[in-house]
Amino acid sequence: MQRTRAPFRADEVGSLLRPAKIKEARARLEKGEISPDDLRKIEDMEIEKVVHKQASIGMKLATDGEFRRSWWHFDFLAKLTGCELFHPDAGIQFAGVETRHDAVRVIGKLDFPDDHPMLDHFRFLKKCADQAHVTAKMTIPSPAVLHFRGGRKAISKDVYPELDAFYEDLGKTYRKAVKAFYDAGCRYLQFDDTVWAYLCSQDELQKARERGDNPEGLQQIYARIINYALAEKPADMVVTTHVCRGNFRSTWISSGGYEPVAETMLAGTNYDGYFLEYDSDRAGGFEPLRFLPKGNKVVVVGVITSKFGELESKDAVKRRLEEAAKFVPLEQLALSPQCGFASTEEGNILSEEEQWAKLSLAVEIAKEVWGN
């Protein structure tokens, strides 16, 4: 059957390709030709349009496409109390391409500010979603992301001489964030997380060691932080996570099946749902899904790729769902593209028409597999 509670049978990760009007407005802002308020008005108009577009193709939810962001994670993290955006000598290395030289570091005691700009971003999204009669979905980076990417070197030793105090404040900061979004009207929140996938990648584990970090035991630490953040979540709020393997202009970072983290992630974290990428051989098989507890949790299988425009066949997607159903009951499964379409403002290498075709395909297949 279809679901009336998120995650929905046909769902989406979050980001959407930035419309030309937003890209043009950003360029004009950099040149000083328009004001930040002019940009906001253009973003408002495009977000309202994209929310109604999601509703029109049959989605039961809508995101703001992350249209106001440059990055999927840094825009949120840099506005936490105690954090700042800076520009290191190198960007993030993807397969064959490097990102802009941006990063976030911890320079003070962590906290979630009452005036975090994404609270207002959500309020505007909710207003549009209510008008379109869909559920507003908000996406923020997982707490693990603030620690793993930069590691110990990106956390001030003057502020946090011991990491245990950092981990404690990180959990408190995210618990406060969950409450703040709930109070703003959010009932569908998602923690986007690259780290679970990195912990499955021997290359990424080696990079962590080369940074001077010890990855042993991290998955248990992250699970404790996440569960602390969710411990006071009201019953009518859904919090999911998306496990990403890297998404920058259709490239990727990590390879390796979910087996090393599956038990901790699926059975040991108190999320309501898990968006898992399954669009390539790099993700391995569905066997790790056996750790999903029977009950209300849902795995949203990302077997439709957001990286390229070629449209998958319905039969091929349905076969993949059948394979997953060997390890998880069909009623605990849902379908989505494997990632967002624009984790950074540059976007993936496909057209807007191809993007909407992918999302429409998910809606059509969900109706055929789970009924209207």
User: What's the structural domain count of the chain?
Assistant: 1
- Residues 146-178 have pLDDT tens digits of 988 788 889 999 999 999 999 999 999 999 999
Burial of 10 (0-12, 13-18, 19+ CB in 10 A): buried
User: 3-class DSSP state for residue 79?
Assistant: coil
pLDDT of 247 strictly over 70: no
Planar angle of CA 316, 260, 173, nearest 5 degrees: 100
In which domain, by residue range, is 220 found?
A: 70-113+141-170+191-370
Looking at residue 249, its pLDDT comes to 47
Q: What distance in Å separates the CA atoms of residue 15 and residue 142, rounded to the nearest whole number?
A: 15
pTM beyond 0.85, yes or no: yes
Q: Please, which residues bridge with residue 107 across strands?
A: none
Residue 16 domain-assigned? no
Residue 329 domain-assigned? yes
Report residue 245's pLDDT band, with 50, 70 and 90 as the boundaries: confident
pLDDT of 251 strictly over 70: no
Looking at residue 257, its pLDDT comes to 82
Q: Which amino acid is residue 141, in one-letter code?
A: P
Report residue 202's pLDDT band, with 50, 70 and 90 as the boundaries: confident
pLDDT, average across residues 43-56: 98
Residue 128 domain-assigned? no
Report residue 210's pLDDT band, with 50, 70 and 90 as the boundaries: confident
Picking from 172, 146, 80, 83, the residue whose alpha carbon sits closest to that of residue 119 is 80
Which residues make Cβ contacts (< 8 Å) with residue 323, sequence separation at least 6? 285, 286
Residue 80 domain-assigned? yes
Residue 341 domain-assigned? yes
Residue 213 domain-assigned? yes
Residue 130 domain-assigned? no
pLDDT, average across residues 212-222: 86
pLDDT of 98 strictly over 60: no
The CATH number of whichever domain residue 238 belongs to comes to 3.20.20.210
pLDDT of 263 strictly over 60: yes
What DSSP character marks residue 288?
A: G
Residue 302 domain-assigned? yes
Looking at residue 256, its pLDDT comes to 67
